[in-house]
């Protein structure tokens, strides 16, 4: 087990040979923390998903630094060079276009390889669209599952949608604006139109919007509208107690109909099932 203490470095940041995972704003540039700004100003190099996005931050806060692109298209080739720079005691900051790096981007692999090479990795916390949408939704937030973008392959997508429909924990998804309506209709097919949901759009920006209540109402809201901006979706989990109760009632009703079809009267069948399931006769009788 490799255990390192980094607490002594906090007043000297950025430290040589450290990889800093820096969260950047998801919309409102004023959400950049002082600590994050200090790191970005003073590291040897900033590895960024899109240099154009990082230059907007640099322009806003009036600083310059060395940039290198690091994204899903070039990360495989860039990782060895970044690791070499870190071993040569250069300090490097990793940023994504918005939010926390490594969530739905190739930063995850760079962090893994850095740790395998005994390089110190420090996260500078900050904005995250998934958590911002979750805590804004009012849906249960103590336990949740983050799925990111659903897979495009039909079989994999259907499998995950089925899992979401059966999960009792809150689920968080990302989606692009032009695919939102398709996803909402898929969620309705798997979860039902009454499932509680909230769609968050343009988080922290001027036109931030939260559309919620249930899936059917959200579908109706977006009908005929052009959807713009980055989308985060929060879906309530099922109530397993209610699901079990509903399933039990369906089974009882099925058994009642089978007994009547077999020749018992409604009264006789209700009396039999009531005794068998420790219920009153009237509860069974009213199911018919």
Euclidean distance between CA atoms 90 and 106, whole angstroms:
21
Residue 237 and residue 107: Cα distance in Å, rounded?
30
Same domain flag for 229 and 169: yes
6 lies in some domain: no
What does DSSP say about strands 144-149 and 170-175: parallel, antiparallel, or unpaired?
A: parallel
- For residue 209, the domain's CATH number is 3.30.950.10
Residue 175 resides in a domain = yes
pTM across the whole model: 0.78
232 strand-pairing partners: 174, 200
- Structure confidence at residue 8 (pLDDT): 44
- In this prediction, residue 112 carries a pLDDT of 96
Name 94's bridge partners. Answer: 21, 47
Q: Is 139 found in the same domain as 41?
A: no
Domain boundary among 106, 127, 148: 127
pLDDT at position 181 is: 97
Residue 27 is predicted with a pLDDT of 92
Using only the alpha carbons of the chain, give its radius of gyration.
Answer: 26
Q: Give Cα 259 to chain centroid, integer Å.
A: 48
Closest CA to 89 of 124, 122, 119: 119
Domain enclosing residue 123, as ranges: 12-127
3 in any annotated domain? no
For position 180, what pLDDT does the model report? 97
CA angle, 82 as apex, 115 and 28 as ends, to 5°?
90
Q: How many domains does the chain have?
A: 3
Residue 109 token pair: 């692999």
**Exposure on the CB side of residue 153, measured as CA atoms within 13 A:** 3
Residues 139 and 170 in one domain: yes
Work out the end-to-end distance of the chain between its first and last CA atoms, rounded to an integer number of angstroms.
64
Q: What integer pLDDT is reported at residue 150 of this predicted model?
A: 96
Dist. CA 193–CA 21, nearest whole Å: 39
In the chain the beta strands, taken as DSSP E runs, fall at 19-22, 45-48, 67-69, 92-95, 121-124, 144-149, 170-175, 196-201, 209-214, 231-235
Do 249 and 217 fall within a single domain? Answer: no
Task: Clarify whether residues 223 and 280 are in a common domain.
Answer: no
* Dihedral sign for Cα atoms in the order 209, 175, 131, 54: negative
Residue 2: predicted pLDDT: 54
- Looking only at the bridges linking them, the beta strands covering 92-95 and 19-22 are parallel
Out of 85, 103, 127, pick the residue that ends a domain: 127
Q: CA distances (Å), 17 to each of 86, 91, 150, in order? A: 5, 5, 36
245 and 200 inside one domain:
no
> What CA–CA distance (Å, rounded) separates 70 from 67?
9
What is the mean pLDDT, run by run of 10 residues, along the chain of 288 residues? 52 92 95 97 97 95 97 94 98 96 89 97 96 96 95 95 94 97 96 95 95 95 94 91 63 86 86 82 79
CA 39 to chain centre: 27
Per-residue model confidence (pLDDT) at position 241 = 60
Q: In the listed set 71, 101, 127, which residue is the last one of a domain according to the structure?
A: 127
């Amino acid at each position: 087990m490799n255990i390192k203490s980094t607490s002594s470095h906090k007043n000297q940041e950025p430290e040589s040979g450290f990889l800093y995972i820096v969260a950047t704003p998801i919309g409102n540039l004023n959400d950049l923390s002082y600590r994050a700004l200090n790191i970005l100003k003073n590291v040897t190099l900033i590895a960024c998903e899109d240099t154009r996005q990082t230059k907007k931050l640099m322009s806003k806060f009036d600083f310059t630094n060395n940039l290198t692109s690091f994204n899903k298209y070039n990360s495989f080739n860039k990782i060895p060079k970044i690791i070499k720079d870190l071993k040569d005691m250069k300090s490097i900051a990793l940023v994504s276009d918005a939010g926390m790096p490594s969530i739905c981007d190739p930063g995850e692999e760079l962090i893994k390889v850095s740790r395998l090479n005994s390089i110190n990795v420090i996260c500078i916390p900050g904005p995250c669209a998934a958590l911002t949408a979750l805590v804004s939704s009012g849906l249960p937030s103590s336990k949740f599952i983050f799925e990111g973008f659903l897979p495009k392959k039909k079989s994999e997508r259907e499998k995950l949608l089925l899992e979401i429909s059966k999960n009792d924990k809150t689920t968080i998804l990302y989606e692009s604006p032009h695919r939102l309506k398709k996803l909402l209709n898929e969620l309705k097919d798997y979860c039902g139109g009454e499932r509680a949901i909230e769609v968050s759009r343009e988080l922290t920006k001027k036109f931030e919007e939260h559309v919620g209540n249930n899936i059917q109402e959200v579908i109706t809201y977006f009908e005929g509208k052009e959807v713009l901006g980055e989308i985060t979706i929060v879906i309530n989990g099922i109530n397993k107690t209610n699901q079990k109760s509903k399933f039990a009632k369906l089974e009882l009703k099925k058994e009642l109909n089978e007994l009547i079809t077999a020749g018992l009267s409604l009264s006789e069948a209700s009396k039999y099932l009531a005794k068998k399931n420790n219920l009153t006769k009237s509860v069974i009788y009213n199911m018919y």
